[in-house]
Structure 1
Amino acid sequence: MLNRLTTEMRNPKSAEIDTLPVRDRLLLMNDEDAGVAAAVRSEIDQIESAVNLVVQAFQNGGRLIYAGAGTSGRLGILDASECPPTFGVDPAMVRGLIAGGERAITTAIEGAEDDEGLGRSDLEALSPDPRDVVIGIAASGRTPYVIGALEKAKEAGAKTVAVSNNKDSKIGQAADVAIEVVTGPEIITGSTRLKAGTAQKLVLNMITTIAMTGIGKVYGNLMVDVQPTNQKLIERAKHIIMEATGCDASTAKEMYEKADGQVKTAIVMILLGCSYEEAVGQLEKSKGIIREIN
């Protein structure tokens, strides 16, 4: 039953929230949010397993595919859309599916999340294979659309991960790895865009960020494959070159231009004192990981 899920229970701390002064309402909400990070930390072992699967997928030419409905689906799409500009990956490498399609990103599509077959067909349209990882996201842990996507993924031989906010979830039972971050009742009963959504956002951030560090998209803590697509990012790219090599602004600008805006290549050119062609060759041999260049 839905009312037995912790995400659907009534929170006694906020039972009279509508009678409180605005400041007290804000403090109550902030207090509830403060426990989210601790709840995520309790699932670190499972998150680590998920990251290892994603790194392996990327190394083998596979993809990470999110599937969710409502807030959960939007969070998957958000995370997927931020990977190309942040880490310089092909948009096809991290994908997000949402019940109801693109229109559901901004508009609630009633009934779409209840269609298990739709989850199967949406994933099937991406031709999943054994190199891929499919992550199903659902606060309740029981969304049919997500279950359908996970079942189709397993049939295709892909690895599967479930991210939910209730223990012993149905999507967890359908996946190879179950990440179940129990954040408890929301301050507004059942509004899982709150603590549950925050927890999901944290988990997805962790999975893609740490997986990208595992395939050389980060050097130290610098985004060395950032795509300089606007003036702010161009300046950020030059600053990253300076931070990574200790060079001055003039050298960073010169090498950035010689490397045709490829930050990682410019860094290797400076570190090795080599040409653009030699830097590209070294990066190809090291599979893009600067630390593995001798």
Structure 2
Amino acid sequence: MSDTVSDLVRIRLDLAYDGRQFSGWARQRGQRTVQGEIEEALRVVLRQEVTPELTVAGRTDAGVHARGQVAHVDLPAGVWAEHGEHLLRRLAGRLPMDVRVWRLSEAPPHFDARFSAVWRRYAYRVTDHPGGVDPLLRGHVLWHNWPLDLDAMNEAARGLLGEHDFAAYCKKREGATTIRTLQRLEWVRRPDGVLEATVQADAFCHNMVRSLVGAMLFVGDGHRPAEWPAKVLAVGVRDSAVHVVRPHGLTLEEVAYPADSELEARNLASRNKRTLPGVATLPSGGGAGAGCC
């Protein structure tokens, strides 16, 4: 935008989408994406010649859903003053039914949807019912055609917690670190029989969640022992036995941010490229990214 920084207002968007018909979050030429749909809707309802550009907490892959996604957009102050009161309802009328913006608010100083986040929480849902997936849940639950041992999967999960180099479970990207802090990884079996994994980390690298789930499913169905996922992690290279499970079982549930007074410090910390203790410091600029899962 041509406006100066002082003329802009940063707006936080809280949103959700069903990822089945999207080629992921990020805008791609000739592809239907979540970013593309929301940016075009903003351009139309705000009557702007230049398309507003969104920054997102986590760039989800094709087929991945979101219930608690967060993004921000910088708008001219005059445009926000004119349209802000009615913007949510107008977006609801313009957006397709598989993406919704639930809340629009002026962001506090230093807020950045990507770099201010302190953690992201995903859920992955699987059923091992011999008859398959409930037809009403088929777009959000993976069918695993083997009985799954919940206790074995949780035992395997405990060996993956903490700060590690998750290169064995990530698709590497040039210049980006694969060091992450996995804060929470646990499975429960819901009353309807669906197994639900909660996966929470400060950030995720590409394919990380679906690779971790794939490894734990191999433990759950008895093909590998409970210590196997941690051994793969320690080796630090991709194992051909670790499958990246299908995306439709994965949903971004929540993104957390610190207190307003801590946003600036969090932004700086997120931009630093991390190393593990005893490893030489690498150049900055490859910190916790938004790519996922």
- With normalisation by structure 1, the TM-score equals 0.28
Q: Could you say which structure has the higher helix fraction?
A: 1
More relative contact order, 1 or 2 (CA 8 Å, 6+ apart): 2
Q: Which protein has the larger Cα radius of gyration, Structure 1 or Structure 2?
A: 1
- With normalisation by structure 2, the TM-score equals 0.28
Q: Could you say which structure has the higher strand fraction?
A: 2
